[in-house]
Amino acid sequence: MIGSAKEFVRLRSSSDPAEYRRAAHEEAPLEVWMAVIADHPAFRQWVAHNKTVPLEVLDLLAGDEDVTVRLVVAGKRKAPDRILRRLAVDPDESVRLRVASHRNAAEATLRMLASDAWDEIRKVVQDRLTTERPLTDPGNHARR
């Protein structure tokens, strides 16, 4: 387990592949993630990349000022529809496109994107709405 923000930054900055993997895969207490976000802003995207990061942290990072951080959050497999719905109105089209392609995006979220200004997003949404059965219940992560 990662025990401090300083340790996370050291692991993520390491050239040792084993340490780099620890930064991407090991758990840390909520306080550690919050300390990294507050004290090491350049590492926020790497917090979002971590496989074990809690949804509470992803929810916070979904509102980050850095588009790269929001893009990582929008691509997280475990991102629930409630986070994806927030990102569906993101000012950056690459974030919205990632939401449109996300397996956890509920039908209501996809319908929000169906009239997006960018035709590529509209195309992805239209394809998904006609060929897939998106989630209909925002709290359910399983396909129906």
Q: pLDDT, tens digit, for every residue of 110-123?
A: 999 999 999 999 99
- pLDDT given at position 141: 47
Using alpha carbons, select from 51, 39, 50 the residue that is nearest to residue 4: 39
Question: Is 104 inside a domain boundary?
Answer: yes
Residue 33 contacts residue 54 (beta carbons within 8 Å): yes
Map residue 113 onto helix, strand or coil: helix
- pLDDT given at position 143: 40
Both 83 and 40 in one domain: the answer is: no
DSSP 117: S
Residue 140 has pLDDT above 50, yes or no: no
Both 33 and 85 in one domain: the answer is: no
What mean pLDDT is predicted for residues 73-81? 98
Both 43 and 87 in one domain: the answer is: no
Could you list the residue range(s) of the whole structural domain that residue 19 is in? 1-53
- pLDDT given at position 142: 42
106 pairs with which residues across the strands? 135
Chain centroid to Cα 41, Å, comes to 17
Both 40 and 99 in one domain: the answer is: no
Lowest-confidence region among 65-69, 132-136, 140-144: 140-144
Indicate the pLDDT class of residue 77, thresholds 50, 70 and 90.
Answer: very high
- Share of residues in the chain with pLDDT > 70 (%): 92
